[in-house]
Structure 1
Amino acid sequence: MPAWGMRLLKFGLLGLALLLPALAVKLGDPLPPFALVDPKGQEVTPATLRKPAVIVFWASWCPVCRAEFPTLHKVAEETGVPFYVISREPKDTREVVLEYMKAYPRFIPLLAGKDKPHEVANRFRVTGQPWTFVVDGEGRVAAVFAGRAGREALLDALLLAGVDLP
C-alpha cells in the first residue's frame, strides 16, 4: 500500500475511534430499558438498580478487561458503590461469568433474564469492551469511559454522580 494510503487508513481509524464514544448513550441520558437478573435470580432493571452505580460492559476473553478489573474492584470496595458487570460476549455463559467473578466478589454480574446481556450492550450502543457507565442517583449517565477507565477519572466521575467518597 502506498504511504498516502496508509495515512488515510490511519486517519480513518483514528476518526472512527473518536466517533465511537459519541454513538453510545450520552451524558445526561437516562439508562436504556433492560431486564437482567443477578446471580440470585432477582430481576435488575434501570428502576431497581441501586444508584449511584457503575455499569461495566466486558468480555471474559478481553485482555484490557482483565487488566482493568482489579482497579475497578478496589474502587468498588473503597466506595461501596455497586458495580454491575455485563458481559457483551454472547458466548460467555452464566457459568463462565460466575466463575470469572469469583475473583471479584464486590461486582454484581448481570445475567440473561428477559433480555440477553449482549442485547443490552446494543441498547447502550456499546461497540467494544470494556465500556464503563457511571450512573447518578436519578438514573442518568454521569460519565462514559470507552476503553480503560483510570482510577482517578473514575473517582472524579463518581463525585460528579453524587457519591460521597471516603
Structure 2
Amino acid sequence: MSRMRHVILIIILLGVIGFTLYEALSDSIGVSGNLESDPETGLEIGAKAPDFTLETLEGEEITLSEVGKPVMLNFWASWCPPCKAEMPHMVNFYESRSDDVEIIAVNMMHQESSVEDMKAFHDDYQLNFPVPFDEDGTVTGMYQVKSIPTSYFVNAEGYIESKYIGPMTERSISSAFDKIN
C-alpha cells in the first residue's frame, strides 16, 4: 500500500510541475484573440481601454482617446531583452503601416535607471513611433502590466481587441491589427 501512495504522490507532483510549465510557457508566447482575462493578467478583452495623456520624448502630449485609428499600446523598458528583440519589428512594421494604424510605445520610466538610458535606446533602435513616458507608473498600473513587453491592441473606437505578452514579430503585429480591421 505504501508503494501505491508513492506512485500517486509522484503522479500528482508531475501534474503540478506540468501545469506550472504550461502556465509559464503560455504567458511567454502571448495571449491574444477574444480571451477573457482576470485582474491578475490584465484588462478584459472587449473592455474600454483606460484613457491617458502622457508626454513624449519630443515634448508632445499624446492622448489615447484622440488617436482615432487602431493602436498597438506597447509597454517596455530599455533594460528588457525581449523589448530589445521586438523593437526592430515594431519599427519595420510602422514604416509600412503608419497611415492606418498607430503604435504607442509607453516607456516605463519608473523602472528605468536613467532618462539617458531610455534616450540611448530610442536613438539606437531609431524608434519612429510615439514614445511617451510613464514616469510614476500610473498608466502601467491602469493596464495592470505584470511583465514586459506587454502589448494591447485597441480598435479605433477605443476598445481592447487583444493582448499579447512577450516580444512580437512583424507578422504577429500585422496579424493582430488585421483582426481589428
Normalising by structure 2, we get a TM-score of: 0.73
The equivalent residue for 1:101 is 122
Q: Take 2:157 and 2:68, find their aligned partners in 1: how far apart are those partners?
A: 10
| Cα pair distance change 1:105/1:12, threshold 3 Å | closer
1:7-18 to structure 2, matched below 5 A, reads 8-9=16-17, 11-12=19-20, 14-15=22-23, 18=26
Q: Which runs of 4+ in 1 moved over 4 A?
A: 2-7, 16-21
Aligned to 1:43: 61
Structure whose CA Rg is larger: 2
Q: Deviations over 1:10-68 (max 9, x none)?
A: 53353366579532123222211322112232322222235222111111111111111
Q: Where does residue 157 of structure 1 map in the other structure? A: 176
The whole-number CA distance in structure 2 between the counterparts of 1:160 and 1:149 is 15
3-state DSSP class of the match of 1:109? Answer: coil
User: What is the SS of the residue equivalent to 2:87?
Assistant: helix
Query: What SS does the aligned partner of 1:90 have?
Result: helix
Calculate percent identity across the aligned residue pairs. 22
Structure 1 stretch displaced more, 79-88 or 20-29: 20-29
Displacement, 1:7? Answer: 5.8
1:64 equivalent in alignment to 2:69: no
| Letter in structure 2 aligned against 1:108 | P
**Closer, same or farther: CA 16–110 of 1 in aligned 2, 3 Å:** same
* CA–CA separation in structure 2 for the residues paired with 1:61 and 1:55: 19
Residues in 2 aligned to 1:123 and 1:13: alpha-carbon distance in whole angstroms = 28
* Aligned-residue offset at 1:74: 0.5
Q: 1:91 to 1:150 in 2, by over 3 A?
A: closer
Give the CA deviation at 1:129. Answer: 0.6
When normalised by structure 1's length, the TM-score is: 0.78
Q: Note the aligned Cα RMSD (angstroms).
A: 2.7
Cα pair distance change 1:88/1:14, threshold 3 Å:
farther
Aligned residue pairs: how many?
158
- Contact kept, 8 Å, 2:154 with 2:161, in 1: the verdict is yes
Q: 1:52-102 deviations in whole A, cap 9, x for unaligned?
A: 221111111111111111111111111113211112352424433222112
Structure 1 partner of 2:51? 33
- The Cα of 1:147 is off from its aligned counterpart by 0.7
Match of 1:73 among 73, 77, 91: 91
